[in-house]
């Protein structure tokens, strides 16, 4: 095994750790929101610093590999993909942190009727499944699994599209929960962005494995 191979293997292991770290942040943010666990929300906010530090480490590692080993072909594509995936993961970490900050502002547990009508819990389930699948796709270089992410993202898009009406209907009968409703709507917007980041990651996996650039292509042209 060459020095480059060793560095790439370690980079992949560290990237997988980043996937796990961010997925756990999203899970904890969800639990904190649903149960109004402010201590858990504070934990998410504290761990965000570690996510940010790890992102910087991974960026430096990628830059060092390019500078010191001059990778080519699939190895270069892998390092370039890692740089972008790392950024996407850090953004998902930021989203988890943002949801945790909402928890500190909400005074009562989210209304069950509101959660059901907005389908927020379904969004969390789909988003976490996307995170799991895209992590496995990265680890196993499974481009078929990567492509399944695009279809899952449409579910989040659809829920997000209908959320405003659902929240407006809820507010009509619950004027005392306007602030909470707006925080839930903002959370839905954030969850939709998690789907977008996962889709970007899937595109990068396909790029480094198949040397295909899918960015900006309409869904019907992604094969």
Instruction: Write the DSSP string, 79-115.
Output: HHHHHHHHHHHHHHHHHHHHHHHHHHH--SPPPHHHH
216 pLDDT tier (thresholds 50, 70, 90): low
> Rounded to an integer, what distance in angstroms lies between the CA atom of residue 153 and that of residue 58?
26
Buried b / exposed e along 55-75 (16+ C-beta atoms within 10 A): beebeebbeebeeebebeeeb
* Mean local confidence (pLDDT), 72-87: 97
Mean pLDDT of the chain: 95
Domain boundaries, the chain: 3-221
* Mean local confidence (pLDDT), 139-150: 97
* Mean local confidence (pLDDT), 43-69: 98
Given the structure tokens 């790029």, which residue do they identify?
A: 207
> Rounded to an integer, what distance in angstroms lies between the CA atom of residue 175 and that of residue 173?
6
pLDDT at 42 over 70: yes
Task: Note the pLDDT of residue 212.
Answer: 84
Buried b / exposed e along 97-122 (16+ C-beta atoms within 10 A): bbbbbbbeebeeebbeebbebbbbee
By mean pLDDT, which of 68-77, 107-116, 121-130 is the weakest?
107-116
Provide the percentage of residues in the chain whose pLDDT is more than 90: 91
End-to-end Cα distance, the chain: 34
Longest pairwise C-alpha distance within the chain: 66
CATH of segment(s) 3-221: 1.20.58.220
Task: Note the pLDDT of residue 213.
Answer: 75
């Amino acid at each position: 095994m060459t020095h480059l191979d060793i560095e790439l293997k370690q980079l992949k292991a560290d990237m997988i750790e980043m996937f796990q770290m961010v997925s756990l942040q999203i899970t904890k943010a969800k639990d904190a929101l649903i149960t109004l666990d402010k201590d858990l929300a504070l934990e998410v906010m504290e761990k965000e610093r570690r996510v940010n530090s790890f992102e910087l480490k991974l960026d430096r590692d990628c830059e060092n590999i390019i500078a010191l080993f001059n990778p080519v072909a699939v190895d270069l594509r892998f390092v370039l993909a890692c740089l972008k995936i790392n950024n996407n993961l850090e953004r998902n970490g930021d989203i988890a942190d943002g949801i945790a900050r909402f928890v500190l502002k909400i005074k009562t547990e989210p209304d069950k009727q509101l959660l059901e009508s907005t389908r927020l819990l379904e969004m969390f389930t789909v988003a976490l499944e996307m995170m799991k699948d895209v992590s496995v796709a990265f680890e196993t270089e499974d481009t078929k699994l990567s492509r399944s992410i695009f279809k899952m993202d449409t579910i989040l898009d659809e829920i997000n599209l209908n959320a405003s009406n659902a929240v407006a209907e809820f507010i009509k009968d619950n004027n005392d929960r306007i602030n909470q409703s707006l925080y839930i709507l903002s959370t839905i917007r954030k969850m939709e962005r998690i789907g977008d980041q996962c889709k970007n990651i899937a595109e990068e996996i396909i790029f480094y494995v198949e040397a295909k650039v899918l960015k900006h292509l309409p869904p019907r042209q992604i094969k």
